[in-house]
A and B are shown apart, each in its own frame.
Chain A
């Protein structure tokens, strides 16, 4: 989050030999659904098409929304889920989940969809060889909202999360309501206490508690765990994560029960402590079959502020009581909870913790595993998308040039990469390498070049210490200490 006031936008780094070349789709802030090539060329803009997120379908079609409910009455309630073709024609639409009559607004059906949805055929909404989403027909799973009361959670009105499935005809055929399973999340007494008093109250509609705030929902799909007999990982089961509670969990499609989870408390077992306290996470999903790391959980562990529990100086009431000012992308084994791969400030080449906040998005963001083992990471708060190899080399970077007029950020909720042939309407673009710029010598017009005009070597001076010896302990100090032992 240490941004200079001047920096380039668009594609800023590109190694065609190491990247998984294709198109990247994302919701450009207050602009529309934008598809860019590897050089940042804007291949397609569906202007005004909302996307929370946008997802491409093979054949140049895209999923998104026609708009959002007035935020005076709802929070992140998108009116519908629509499928749009290359020319912008709506070829499929669902909105008939709840009939909404807000003061001063046209009464209308709304899907109340938010954060995620999945079209049958593909479990996660991104490119997986052999698991294409259905373009015509098929069911769609949606993550939605429902207002209700549940005295087991709180005496306040809840903005609860639901997962529901609709068929191609628009009939709702399955539904899962989050607060029905409150006990399964195993909150401790301190968490229950603050949850009851303040279930993350939001002011819209007279006040409602967005207590869980699920921001990711996907299907497990075929996987090695189920093949080995572990029914918790049935391919139809659904994995979700709750930003406000720090929980990642799997729901049985057949029974609705929570069958696997990590969180909300990461200090209960040695395995959880080794995993570290996941905070405010996004896009937790199982890497689908056919991609490197298949069967592992991939998550953008934002850090920031989230959770319910014992008050501390950073959280006087116990709400959002877990705090961290950098992010991590974790790939971990759902059985052993061991971290298999990660991209944290350390892998990003940043000194920890003094420079860690340069890899940090305290909200939104995502991670997509790609067929060559690379990972597309949306570090959403700063509007940055990077592609890193399994060895943590950054081989592509793009920074959104689109700042909102109402909300002055260039944030990107979630970006996805697809192969070129998913958009047959566009000729595959030329791939022009963008070498890394040496920022130590890069200068803007008018700026003086590097190098002192006058230099005097000093006699009798000691060399600089290899340890940082800062006001706070940093990684180089730890390395020094460990070498002494």
Chain B
């Protein structure tokens, strides 16, 4: 089945995807969603409305449609075109501003698989697209390679807790050495922000504690030798089926006080649901 690419005139992201497909000889039908293909796009939109992301700037183009799958977002589309589903764990849909690509998570799966992301990132870089990257510290070698090549303009380091929390991860646990190495190299990113995730711990019987948050912050300060890195605290409330009670709205202050002993600029971010 021929792929359809819904694009709009003057769309930088559309140009990047078409260049990627053209370079690889991938065939597709280009539908100008605001021009001659407007009616076709309206039909497509009506049939797939629930699957199409809309941001403050409206629908984000291009949209890749083949068979039953609708893909949207530079990272998602290019990763799919590059190796199919193999690097899906490293990319998630997400809306970012013009000139940016996001949704990449270097810790999303095994490191070797993650290396297949590099050609996608290089293509974005060659076309002047800025890249928002995330990591939780796992896959430090991959992170290092990305940063050495200058493939992350903004890096968000999602800190899952102190070293003990990483050792207890049910999937791909890792050592303090690896996390510290990632924190150290992370400073090579164009911009770096650290986000401490305060969430129910594996097992679901309790949250990361303020003391553990402080230990995590201490690990960051020790690894980076920089206690002024922008540091956010994001409280993830338990999912509706969890038996754990939500943290009260004021709980974040205890975490912030604890973290600020080591990371001086810590602030509370809006809470979310795990």
Give A residues with C-beta under 8 Å from B.
Answer: 96, 98-99, 170-175
A171/B254 in contact, CB under 8 A: yes
For residue A262, give the distance in angstroms from its CB to the closest CB of chain B. 28
Task: Say whether B44 faces chain A, with CB atoms less than 8 Å apart.
Answer: no
B264/A173 in contact, CB under 8 A: no
Tell me the bound Cα distance from A379 to B271 in angstroms.
46
Indicate which residue in A98, A99, A170, A171 contacts B253 across the interface (CB closer than 8 Å): A171
B260/A173 in contact, CB under 8 A: no
Closest chain A residue to B263, Cβ basis:
A99
B250/A171 in contact, CB under 8 A: no
Give B residues with C-beta under 8 Å from A.
Answer: 250, 253-254, 256-257, 260, 264-265
Q: Is the interface of A mostly helix, strand, loop or mixed?
A: strand
B264/A99 in contact, CB under 8 A: yes
For residue B227, give the distance in angstroms from its CB to the closest CB of chain A. 8
Q: Which A residues lie within 8 Å of B250 (CB)?
A: 173-174
Q: Which A residues lie within 8 Å of B256 (CB)?
A: 172
For residue A224, give the distance in angstroms from its CB to the closest CB of chain B. 28
Indicate which residue in A96, A99, A173 contacts B254 across the interface (CB closer than 8 Å): A173
A172/B264 in contact, CB under 8 A: no
Q: Which A residues lie within 8 Å of B265 (CB)?
A: 99
Q: Which A residues lie within 8 Å of B257 (CB)?
A: 96, 170-172
Task: Show 11 residue pairs from A and B whose CB-CB distance is below 8 angstroms, ordered by the A residue.
Answer: A96-B257, A96-B260, A99-B260, A171-B253, A171-B254, A172-B253, A172-B256, A172-B257, A173-B250, A173-B253, A173-B254
Q: Which B residues lie within 8 Å of A170 (CB)?
A: 257
Tell me the bound Cα distance from A254 to B98 in angstroms.
39
Tell me the bound Cα distance from A170 to B264 in angstroms.
16
Tell me the bound Cα distance from A98 to B264 in angstroms.
7
Q: Which B residues lie within 8 Å of A173 (CB)?
A: 250, 253-254
For residue B267, give the distance in angstroms from its CB to the closest CB of chain A. 9
Tell me the bound Cα distance from A481 to B256 in angstroms.
65
B253/A174 in contact, CB under 8 A: yes
For residue A252, give the distance in angstroms from its CB to the closest CB of chain B. 12
For residue B246, give the distance in angstroms from its CB to the closest CB of chain A. 15
Tell me the bound Cα distance from A175 to B264 in angstroms.
17
Tell me the bound Cα distance from A173 to B210 in angstroms.
12
Q: Which B residues lie within 8 Å of A98 (CB)?
A: 264
Closest chain A residue to B265, Cβ basis:
A99
Closest chain A residue to B261, Cβ basis:
A96
Q: Is the interface of B mostly helix, strand, loop or mixed?
A: helix
Tell me the bound Cα distance from A96 to B265 in angstroms.
12
Q: Which B residues lie within 8 Å of A96 (CB)?
A: 257, 260
Tell me the bound Cα distance from A364 to B235 in angstroms.
41
Q: Which A residues lie within 8 Å of B254 (CB)?
A: 171, 173
Tell me the bound Cα distance from A96 to B260 in angstroms.
9
For residue A56, give the distance in angstroms from its CB to the closest CB of chain B. 29
Tell me the bound Cα distance from A175 to B267 in angstroms.
11
Tell me the bound Cα distance from A178 to B245 in angstroms.
29
Task: Add 10 more A-B contacts to A96-B260, A99-B260, A174-B253 (CB < 8 A).
Answer: A96-B257, A99-B264, A99-B265, A171-B253, A171-B257, A172-B253, A172-B256, A172-B257, A173-B253, A173-B254
Tell me the bound Cα distance from A99 to B260 in angstroms.
9
Tell me the bound Cα distance from A171 to B254 in angstroms.
7
The 8 closest A-B pairs by CB, nearest first: A99-B264, A171-B257, A172-B253, A172-B257, A173-B253, A174-B250, A175-B253, A173-B250
Tell me the bound Cα distance from A171 to B259 in angstroms.
11
For residue B230, give the distance in angstroms from its CB to the closest CB of chain A. 13
Closest chain B residue to A256, Cβ basis:
B249
Tell me the bound Cα distance from A171 to B255 in angstroms.
10
Q: Which B residues lie within 8 Å of A171 (CB)?
A: 253-254, 257
Closest chain B residue to A146, Cβ basis:
B267
For residue B161, give the distance in angstroms from its CB to the closest CB of chain A. 20
For residue A169, give the distance in angstroms from its CB to the closest CB of chain B. 9
For residue B250, give the distance in angstroms from its CB to the closest CB of chain A. 5
Tell me the bound Cα distance from A174 to B254 in angstroms.
9
For residue A236, give the distance in angstroms from its CB to the closest CB of chain B. 12
For residue A172, give the distance in angstroms from its CB to the closest CB of chain B. 5
Closest chain B residue to A164, Cβ basis:
B253
Tell me the bound Cα distance from A172 to B260 in angstroms.
11
For residue B231, give the distance in angstroms from its CB to the closest CB of chain A. 12
Q: Which A residues lie within 8 Å of B253 (CB)?
A: 171-175
Tell me the bound Cα distance from A172 to B256 in angstroms.
8
Q: Which B residues lie within 8 Å of A99 (CB)?
A: 260, 264-265
Tell me the bound Cα distance from A173 to B254 in angstroms.
6
Tell me the bound Cα distance from A172 to B210 in angstroms.
13
Tell me the bound Cα distance from A363 to B260 in angstroms.
36
Q: Which B residues lie within 8 Å of A174 (CB)?
A: 250, 253
Tell me the bound Cα distance from A367 to B243 in angstroms.
52
Q: Which B residues lie within 8 Å of A175 (CB)?
A: 253
Closest chain B residue to A174, Cβ basis:
B250
For residue B261, give the distance in angstroms from its CB to the closest CB of chain A. 8
Tell me the bound Cα distance from A174 to B251 in angstroms.
9
For residue B226, give the distance in angstroms from its CB to the closest CB of chain A. 13
Tell me the bound Cα distance from A170 to B250 in angstroms.
15
Tell me the bound Cα distance from A325 to B237 in angstroms.
54
For residue B56, give the distance in angstroms from its CB to the closest CB of chain A. 13
Q: Which A residues lie within 8 Å of B260 (CB)?
A: 96, 99
Q: In the complex, which of the residues B254, B256, B257, B264 has the most CB atoms of chain A within 10 Å of its own CB atom?
A: B257
For residue B247, give the distance in angstroms from its CB to the closest CB of chain A. 13
Tell me the bound Cα distance from A172 to B250 in angstroms.
10
Tell me the bound Cα distance from A313 to B265 in angstroms.
44
Closest chain A residue to B252, Cβ basis:
A175
Tell me the bound Cα distance from A174 to B257 in angstroms.
11
Tell me the bound Cα distance from A263 to B257 in angstroms.
35
Tell me the bound Cα distance from A99 to B256 in angstroms.
13
Closest chain B residue to A100, Cβ basis:
B264
Tell me the bound Cα distance from A174 to B256 in angstroms.
11
For residue A238, give the distance in angstroms from its CB to the closest CB of chain B. 14
For residue B151, give the distance in angstroms from its CB to the closest CB of chain A. 29
Closest chain A residue to B210, Cβ basis:
A171
Q: Which A residues lie within 8 Å of B264 (CB)?
A: 98-99
Tell me the bound Cα distance from A99 to B250 in angstroms.
21
Closest chain B residue to A253, Cβ basis:
B250
For residue A20, give the distance in angstroms from its CB to the closest CB of chain B. 38
For residue B47, give the distance in angstroms from its CB to the closest CB of chain A. 37
For residue B97, give the distance in angstroms from its CB to the closest CB of chain A. 15
Tell me the bound Cα distance from A173 to B252 in angstroms.
8
Tell me the bound Cα distance from A439 to B169 in angstroms.
84
For residue B23, give the distance in angstroms from its CB to the closest CB of chain A. 40
For residue A474, give the distance in angstroms from its CB to the closest CB of chain B. 55
Tell me the bound Cα distance from A99 to B231 in angstroms.
14
Tell me the bound Cα distance from A98 to B266 in angstroms.
10
